[in-house]
Chains A and B, each alone.
Chain A
């Protein structure tokens, strides 16, 4: 936990400095007749962020805050696997939106989560994997007219054009 507190403060401190540098692409000083330049607001806020990171590091050094006192492991192996699997699955799911679309990726995500993480029966898994996309399709694409990503054109043409013809 202590190490994580240090690393996070340093990373955020560097990020703050990057933001200051990035803000300085626009004028950060006073422009006559125009007021403060466009970069001033984010620049000074990033500066405050950087100062906060320094204060967090001071607190870390003096062991003033709970995370800086704790010797507990920030993330033990089990937690890392449990959270990592879910975060990884989400990343893959979003990436698949481009290829097989929302309606292809969501059932796969459901199968992975319900069957392999949740260890539910195949019947429950199948129900979840079919009901969710069907409800979503009628809700978003049909009722709200928000077309969710369908992936590659070939997927949309073969599967969804006939569906649009029926329901739209």
Chain B
């Protein structure tokens, strides 16, 4: 306990170095704006700006990206409320009640509720993070190649089992991501593989950033171009009056929602820890639970403040939660942490249990900076509410070209190879076409990050056990994880069966 507090203190000393503090501030602000832009969320912000962090030391870089992540979580609510377009998938649940509130001219109330709930969610989860990260890291020490692979399976299984999406399409998306990650040189034999058309550009593999910016940058913007065209080029804006008096009254009203906020925070945190679950299901679940326990459930969907507080506290808590498996096990809990993980690998920091001992200043600096990021984000958010309203009034046709240019340059910068820019455009267009047909694309991005970790884990496991798969079921940590993964995989198959049985019972 005292040990943890001591290390946390050390972390604060790192986080409050002038450079890092400045990075937190800038990161939060950029994150807020990116999160607030329709179609862009924390994934986009982190993916586009990752190449720019090679300028600062790794600790500063992760602090900067984590601040963007946090800021975007706060900001995602802004366009959900103001435009009715979720700023990111994590803010989908926020539109349910935030949008009705805004239409009634209470956008400022919804925005304040979202900001404060995010703060509560973020803070509770960082405290949980501080005390539960080291024990989990200790457990992680027992993890070898078979356990790693079982965990990867669990990550993919949660996507398939918990996601309500079309299952064959989800599996397809995961597999295509994994196959794309296999392009380049075979890690074990060193032979070139999947070099399409013998183009030398494929020899260095497909950088996950190329896929991430392609899908989340270009693809998502093309999607927004279509939405914008269908809306006749006019985004719907909301009325909002902002004054100190109103803000104070709003804050007072928010005190009544503390139960919802605490519930959302805990729920979000634990859903966030699950590999691959992340903030989107977390916020949707919190919204569902809040409606279940509310005294006036019929108000939900028509402008309930609790309906804004629950998903917003949960998505912030989940975003912190998803960093825990990223740091301790090297398993990202969300597409954004998948990109952060990719960044850490580039900076030469291998995530996993040893990270806490080998790079403790990095880990604790990050944790401490999360406290700071939370505080800054809520202050900036509340202070900038009027400014956000102004930026969102900027026509889409001015914002869009800037974002496209950022994508093109962001795709070029990491490898400085034009091959990657073309590939990114291709992924963007194909991703857009697939998204129109309900192909979930987040699993592909996750898979391309996990692929280079999963493949050697599988091959090593099979090698030490002479090619038999039973190694995954005979080791104490691996067995329960693998079994959970298989159960989750089987769930979608069981559901129609259950429905059939229940249906028969109902008839009888």
With A38-B186, A83-B225, A94-B422: A65-B179 Cβ-Cβ less than 8 Å: no
Q: Tally chain B residues at the interface, Cβ within 8 Å.
A: 61
With A42-B193, A132-B405, A140-B409: A5-B429 Cβ-Cβ less than 8 Å: no
| B residues less than 8 Å from A104 (CB atoms) | none
Provide the B302-325 mask, 1 if CB < 8 A to any CB of A, else 0.
Answer: 000000000000000000000000
Q: Is B259 interfacial (CB-CB < 8 Å)?
A: no
State whether B459 touches A36 (Cβ < 8 A): yes
State whether B437 touches A67 (Cβ < 8 A): yes
Minimum distance in angstroms from A30 CB to a CB of chain B? 6
Smallest CB-CB separation from A116: which chain B residue? B397
State whether B188 touches A35 (Cβ < 8 A): yes
Q: Binding site of B, secondary structure by majority: helix, strand, loop or mixed?
A: helix
Minimum distance in angstroms from A74 CB to a CB of chain B? 7
State whether B434 touches A45 (Cβ < 8 A): no
State whether A52 touches B169 (Cβ < 8 A): yes
Bound-state Cα–Cα, A5 to B412, Å: 32
With A41-B459, A144-B52, A148-B409: A56-B169 Cβ-Cβ less than 8 Å: yes
State whether B191 touches A26 (Cβ < 8 A): yes
Q: Is B413 interfacial (CB-CB < 8 Å)?
A: yes
Bound-state Cα–Cα, A136 to B409, Å: 9
Provide the B164-177 mask, 1 if CB < 8 A to any CB of A, else 0.
Answer: 00101101100110
Q: How large is the interface on A (under 10, 10 to 19, 20 to 34, 35 or more residues)?
A: 35 or more
Bound-state Cα–Cα, A149 to B422, Å: 14
Bound-state Cα–Cα, A106 to B404, Å: 10
Bound-state Cα–Cα, A102 to B404, Å: 13
State whether B398 touches A118 (Cβ < 8 A): yes
State whether A93 touches B408 (Cβ < 8 A): yes
Q: Is B196 interfacial (CB-CB < 8 Å)?
A: yes
B183-215, CB < 8 A from A: 186, 188-189, 191, 193-194, 196
| B residues less than 8 Å from A48 (CB atoms) | 171, 175
| A residues less than 8 Å from B390 (CB atoms) | none
Bound-state Cα–Cα, A114 to B398, Å: 6
Minimum distance in angstroms from A12 CB to a CB of chain B? 7
Minimum distance in angstroms from A26 CB to a CB of chain B? 5
Which listed residue, A34, A52, A74, A148, touches B168 by the CB 8 Å rule?
Answer: A52
Minimum distance in angstroms from A55 CB to a CB of chain B? 4
Smallest CB-CB separation from B230: which chain A residue? A79
Q: Is A66 interfacial (CB-CB < 8 Å)?
A: yes
Q: Is B21 interfacial (CB-CB < 8 Å)?
A: no
Bound-state Cα–Cα, A46 to B409, Å: 31
With A38-B186, A38-B193, A91-B425: A124-B398 Cβ-Cβ less than 8 Å: yes
Provide the B32-67 mask, 1 if CB < 8 A to any CB of A, else 0.
Answer: 000000000000000000011011000000000000
With A35-B188, A94-B421: A46-B395 Cβ-Cβ less than 8 Å: no
State whether B226 touches A83 (Cβ < 8 A): yes
State whether B168 touches A56 (Cβ < 8 A): yes
| B residues less than 8 Å from A42 (CB atoms) | 178-179, 182, 193-194
Q: Which of B171, B179, B421 has the most CB of A within 10 A?
A: B179
| B residues less than 8 Å from A45 (CB atoms) | 175, 178-179, 182
**A–B Cβ pairs within 8 angstroms, 5 of them:** A36-B467, A56-B169, A91-B425, A94-B421, A110-B405
What is the interface of chain B, defined by CB distance below 8 A to chain A?
51-52, 54-55, 166, 168-169, 171-172, 175-176, 178-179, 182, 186, 188-189, 191, 193-194, 196, 218, 221-222, 225-226, 228-230, 395, 397-398, 400-402, 404-405, 408-409, 412-413, 416, 418, 421-422, 425, 429, 432-434, 436-439, 455, 458-460, 462-463, 467
What is the interface of chain A, defined by CB distance below 8 A to chain B?
1, 4-5, 8, 12, 19, 22-23, 25-26, 30, 34-39, 41-42, 45-46, 48-49, 52-53, 55-56, 59, 65-67, 74-75, 78-79, 82-83, 86-87, 90-91, 93-94, 97-98, 102, 106, 109-110, 113-114, 117-120, 124, 128, 132, 136, 140, 143-144, 146-149
